[in-house]
Chain A
Amino acid sequence: MSDPGVKLWCNFSDYKPGLGSNAAVAEANRCLNCYDAPCTRACPTGIDVPGFIKKIATGNMRGSARTILEANILGASCARVCPTEELCEGACVLHDLHERPIDIGRLQRYATDPVVYEDDDSPPLFEAAPENGRRVALIGAGPASLGCAAELAQLGYETVCFEKADKPGGLNTFGIADYKMTFHTALKEIEWIRQLGVEIRCGQQVGRDISVEQLRQEFDAIFIGVGLGGVDPIGIDGEDLEGVRDSLEFIAELKTHPKEEVALSGKKVAVIGGGNTAIDAVTQSARLGAERVYLVYRRGPQQMGAYKHEQELARKDGGVFVYHSQPVEILGRGNKVAGLKCIRTEHRKGKLQTVEDSEFVLHVDYVLRATGQSKLTDLFEEFPGLAIEDWGTVIADIDGRTSLKDVWAGGDCVSGGQEVVNAVAEGKRAARSIHKTLQGER
């Protein structure tokens, strides 16, 4: 392991590796096969968890994959990226027996990988239905749009995703921590989805390369699945220095480049924020070899939005949590970052306030912003009459219907930022609603 490139690469190996067949069957046999299973109820896409698990136990692998993918077309991604501790596995009844919950994520991976990633000669599990003559445009090709388009294609719709990036998948491709799922794994799954007849046009930004009006003319319905924008500057001095970055850009870069090109060996990093994105920035900086990684958060551990298991991972990776601290200035040497000046905060009279004369400096080479993604309001404004929340997300009901009768929306641009599995579920529900509406028009 003397080659530093190899070592860095190892740091990013699967943190939930796949199961071998013996282990998978043994694990599957532990599942009790609950009635109205709590794990299924906890899954936003409602995968019949005991159903697919029992099929693993009997060796009905194709049936198992079908059960999963029918409910969640991104089932292979979700097997890797879902915060299962908070969802299905968190709900497993075995917790109450003081046993390990069923390893649902890894079983799901075991069942779906062969279908999604391994080309074999067996007939495809899912196919596009014969065309019904209706067309739906989807803005963005992230999990929400893919969930929607895959469902529509199976109902006979012509679906076209317009994606501004040069590769599809949204944050599932560019944002997921690399040790959970790589860039290429995400893209390969999308190739599989394309086989259902989902068309994806990359490099097409709606509002720039093609207008909303044109889409509304050419298509019977529109689905908005644009997610959120980048992390805006926080508005302190020094943010223009070299070494200050949006954590999403940083993550996208490390996922798409050989690790030695983006190594942080010997560097010190400060990540600003308290959510899951901040955690991912910490863990991945550490895995790129950073000598020290601080997580700077305004409030205390209790208020942190990041999942407990994610915080735990960041600590194991060596992240230093700096609570009750607010950045006030980024210090530079020449045009490069040299430090992050912070001030202590405290709760006074029910409000978060700074503590006088409590400034301190963290000597760092990089500052990564992870303070929340912006909303893509510019695009929404192109839809006259589209109802938007004050905080900039699209207003949509449980079926994804917006205030416009030909426009549906789902995923992060509606929720303000959840998980891949929520986006897929919302996209799928919207597809059903679109189908119902367009059928009614006939």
Chain B
Amino acid sequence: MADLRCNVAGIESPNPFWLASAPPTNTGDQVMRAFDAGWGGAVWKTLGEPIVNVWSRYGAVDIEGTKMMGLNNIELITDRPLEVNLREIREVKKRYPDHALVVSLMVESDRQAWHDIVKKAQDAGADGLELNFGCPHGMSERGMGSAVGQVPQYTCQITEWVKEVATVPVLVKLTPNISDIRYAARAAKEGGADGVSLINTINSIIGLDIDTLTPTPAVNGKSSHGGYCGPAVKPIALNMVSQIGADPQTAGLPISGIGGISTWRDAVEFIALGSDTVQVCTAVMHYGFRIVEDLKEGLSNYLDQKGMTLQELKGHSLHKIHNWKELDLNYAVNARINQDKCIGCGLCYTACEDGAHQAIQAEPRVDGRTYVEVRPQDCVGCNLCSLVCPVDGCIDMVEIPNDFEPCSWEDYTERGGQLAPRPEHQ
């Protein structure tokens, strides 16, 4: 069993799996049940001035029958009285001293208001604070949430105010609704943040009910743009997390990674790209607290198998992310079909013929299936066929050795590098 204990920005946690600030952390009862189930930490549902929620508030994208590949919400911060939340936080911290209990905060952009709420959260026993500069709907109309996160100066300013009174580590939760996440992260760091957490939800309209032609979630026939999350957003989050680790100005800034994490595999990816802990919301809203058992066990087995510690995994893959111009243009691959595994469905043929480079030959087989073969001279090695093939390991992308030195676009344009020949009609 690998040691999963970790520390993000000075906040200790028995394992890197935290509940993100969201409905699963609405109440003390939920957080305690989650800790009992095995979660290492929780970020309390954002506290602030009292708000009122609409009733109908979630919408989802189902893809080919798979439910909730993406989830969208138009919910605001906590709608429970501040005093009740603080009382429950105090109670939870008393009963679970070793778990990470972080409190998410959002108030109007006023120094005193921030000072007040920070002190209250600390008094209740919070191990850390998370500043919600990310919520893209509702709160942003009132000048909070992503309205702050989208302007680096505001991000920096409010972080500074918080740090004036904070006695526990401060994480700034970033919004992805910007053009370059690095500016937001730099601003947080400049304001004194001990770390960042990302991503918050993405601005979205989840869809329309085409019978009524009303956008969802419908509130008495109307809707509003909401925050998008769930498995479908993971690649966007991974990119943003990696950008912060790769940016010399923010490299090493502690990160709590968020966005579409449902399995331990997702967690491995976030950690390898620089996250210290990971936060989960949609997967818990879908399947409940119990998923943490597999998250922990899967990560632990993976680390044992790799002979790695959690700390060694952290950021392990960052150095493999480069600018495109540094990639080797002479590294050639081709698709190879393993005929003994092929079930003759012809999907690779359709994909390559209509969607790629017309490099696969298809012929009817006597048994009613389709015989397929790659014409190596036409294949540009794009991977598409191997992505659509329903049989694992049936299409391999194999390296085609050549006598040329590696040559990137940079080498080619600036250092007289030599390009290997490419398929003719490419």
Q: Say if the beta carbon of B152 comes within 8 Å of chain A.
A: no
Q: Check B224 for interface membership: any CB of A closer than 8 A.
A: no
| Cα distance, A209 to B101, chains bound together (Å) | 92
- Stretch from A34-42, A72-80, A222-230, A356-364 that touches the partner: A34-42
Kindly name the residue among B343, B345, B347 whose own CB sees the greatest number of chain A CB atoms within 10 A: B345
Given A41-B368, A97-B391, check contact A32 B345 (CB 8 Å): yes
Separation in Å of the B311 CB from the closest CB of chain A?
41
Collect the chain A residues with CB atoms within 8 Å of residue B368's CB.
Answer: 38, 41-42, 91
Contact indicator per residue, chain B 10-47, by CB within 8 Å of chain A (1) or not (0):
00000000000000000000000000000000000000
From A25, A29, A36, A57, residue with most partner B Cβ within 10 Å: A36
Q: Which of A17-69 contact B (CB under 8 A)?
A: 25-26, 28-29, 32-38, 41-42, 57
Is A29's CB under 8 angstroms from B65's CB?
yes
Complex Cα–Cα for A96 and B370 (A): 13
Interface residue? B231 (CB, 8 A): no
**Chain B residues whose CB sits within 8 angstroms of the CB of A33 once the complex forms:** 347
A93 within 8 A of B: yes
Is B209 interfacial (CB 8 A cutoff)? no
Taking a contact as CB atoms under 8 Å apart, the answer to whether A34 and B345 are in contact is: yes
Q: Is B350's CB within 8 Å of the partner chain A? A: yes
A91 to chain B: closest residue by CB: B368
**A220 CB to nearest B CB, Å:** 38
Closest to B353 in A: A35
With a cutoff of 8 Å between Cβ atoms, the chain A residues found around residue B349 in the complex are 35
Mask of B367-382 contacts with A, CB within 8 angstroms, 1/0: 1111000000000000
* Cβ-defined contact, B344 with A29, below 8 A: no
> What distance in Å separates the Cβ of A285 from its nearest Cβ neighbour in chain B?
36
Question: CA–CA, A34 to B391, complex, Å?
Answer: 13
CA–CA, A120 and B389, complex, Å: 41
Contacts of A42 in B (CB 8 A): 368
**Complex interface residues of chain B between 335 and 361 (CB less than 8 A to chain A):** 343-347, 349-350
Name the distance in Å between A98's Cβ and chain B's nearest Cβ.
Answer: 10
Complex Cα spacing A146 to B64, Å: 37
**By DSSP majority rule, is chain B's interface helix, strand, loop, or mixed?**
loop
CB distance from A96 to the nearest CB of B (A): 4
State whether B390 touches A38 (Cβ < 8 A). Answer: no
Q: Distance (Å) between the CB of A248 and the closest chain B CB?
A: 33
Residues of A near B370 (CB, < 8 A) are: 34-36, 38
Partner of A32, one of B65, B362, B390: B390
**Pairwise interchain contact B345-A57, C-beta atoms closer than 8 A:** no
Quick check: is B364 within 8 A (CB to CB) of the other chain?
A: yes
Q: In the complex where A34-B370, A41-B368, A91-B368 touch, is A25 in contact with B346 (Cβ < 8 A)?
A: no
Distance in angstroms between the alpha carbons of A96 and B367 in the assembled complex: 12
Q: Which residues of A contact B369 (CB under 8 A)?
A: 38, 93
Q: Nearest chain A CB to B17's CB is how many angstroms away?
A: 31
Contact A25–B362 (Cβ < 8 Å): no
A36 close to B65 (CB less than 8 A): no
Once the chains are docked, how many angstroms separate the CA of A424 from the CA of B219?
52
Chain A contacts for B347, CB-based, 8 A: 32-35
In the bound complex, how far is the Cα of B343 from the Cα of A91, in angstroms?
A: 11
The reply to whether B345 and A26 contact each other, CB–CB distance below 8 Å, is no
Contacts of A57 in B (CB 8 A): 64-65
Contact of B362 among A28, A36, A97 (CB under 8 A): A36
In this complex, the member of A26, A35, A41, A91 whose beta carbon has the largest number of chain B beta carbons within 10 angstroms is A35
Measured CA separation A28–B64 after assembly (Å): 9
**What total of chain B residues lie within 8 Å of the partner, measured CB to CB?**
17
**CA of A42 to CA of B366 in the docked complex: distance in angstroms?**
12
- The answer to whether A93 touches B65, judged by C-beta atoms less than 8 angstroms apart, is no
A268 to B370, CA, bound (A): 50
Q: How far, in whole Å, are A59 and B369 apart by their CA atoms in the complex?
A: 28
What's the Cα separation between A26 and B66 when bound, in Å? 9
Question: What is the distance, in angstroms, from A92's C-beta to the closest C-beta of chain B?
Answer: 10
User: B343 touching A97 by the CB < 8 A rule?
Assistant: yes
Which of these, B64, B346, B362, B391, contacts A29 with CB under 8 Å?
A: B64
Q: Output the nearest chain B residue to A41 by Cβ-Cβ distance.
A: B368
Interface membership of chain B positions 386-406, coded 1 if the CB is closer than 8 angstroms to chain A and 0 otherwise? 000011000000000000000
Interchain CA distance A32-B388 in the complex, whole Å: 10
Q: Are A25 and B390 in contact (CB under 8 A)?
A: no
Chain B residue at minimal CB-CB distance from A59: B210
**Complex formed: what's the CA distance from A28 to B344 in Å?**
19
Of B65, B350, B364, the most chain A CB neighbours within 10 A belong to B65
**CB closest residue in chain B, given A33:** B347
Q: Contacts of A25 on B, CB cut-off 8 Å?
A: 65
Cα distance A36–B370 in the bound complex, in angstroms: 7
Q: Contact at A93–B345, with CB atoms within 8 Å?
A: yes
In the complex formed, the residue of B with least CB distance to A94 is B343
Closest to A99 in B: B390
How many whole Å from A86's CB to the nearest CB in chain B? Answer: 12
Assembly CA distance A38 to B364 (angstroms): 9
Q: Which chain A positions have C-beta within 8 A of B343?
A: 93-94, 96-97
Chain A residues near B65 (CB-CB < 8 A): 25-26, 28-29, 57
Kindly list chain B residues whose C-beta atoms are within 8 Å of the C-beta of A94.
343
- In the complex, chain A residues whose CB is within 8 Å of the CB of B64: 29, 57
**For B362, what are the chain A residues with a Cβ–Cβ distance below 8 Å?**
35-36
| Nearest A residue (CB) for B391 | A97
Could you say which residues of chain A place their CB within 8 Å of the CB of B390? 32, 97
Distance between Cα atoms of A18 and B367 in the complex (Å): 30
Task: Closest A residue to B349 by CB, please name it.
Answer: A35
B-chain residues with CB within 8 Å of residue A32 when the two chains form the complex? 345, 347, 390
* Distance, CA A182 to CA B367, complexed state (A): 34
Chain A residues with CB under 8 Å of B344's CB are 38, 93, 96
Q: Measured between C-beta atoms, what is the minimum distance from B280 to chain A in Å?
A: 26
Roughly how many angstroms separate A26 CA and B62 CA in the complex, as a whole number? 12
A38 to B349, CA, bound (A): 14
Using CB atoms, name the residue of chain A closest to B65. A29
Find out whether the CB atom of B391 lies under 8 angstroms from the CB atom of A35: no
| Cα separation A42 to B368 with both chains bound (whole Å) | 7
Q: Report which residue of A57, A94, A96 has the largest number of chain B beta carbons within 10 angstroms of its beta carbon.
A: A96
Q: For the complex, what is the distance from the CA of A32 to the CA of B364, rounded to whole Å?
A: 17
Whole-angstrom CA separation of A35 from B363 in the bound complex: 10
Closest chain A residue to B360, Cβ basis: A35
Point out the residue from A36, A93, A96, A97 that lies within 8 Å of B364, measured CB to CB.
A36
Residues of chain B with a CB closer than 8 A to A28's CB: 65
List 20 A-B pairs, Cβ < 8 Å: A26-B65, A29-B64, A32-B345, A33-B347, A34-B346, A34-B370, A35-B346, A35-B350, A36-B362, A38-B367, A38-B370, A42-B368, A57-B64, A57-B65, A91-B368, A93-B343, A93-B345, A93-B369, A97-B390, A97-B391
Closest 6 CB pairs of A and B: A35-B346, A29-B65, A96-B343, A38-B368, A34-B345, A93-B343
- A residues contacting B by CB (< 8 A) are 25-26, 28-29, 32-38, 41-42, 57, 91, 93-94, 96-97
13 further A-B pairs in the complex, CB-CB below 8 A; given A42-B368, A91-B368:
A26-B65, A29-B64, A32-B345, A33-B347, A34-B370, A35-B346, A36-B346, A36-B364, A38-B367, A41-B364, A57-B64, A93-B369, A96-B343
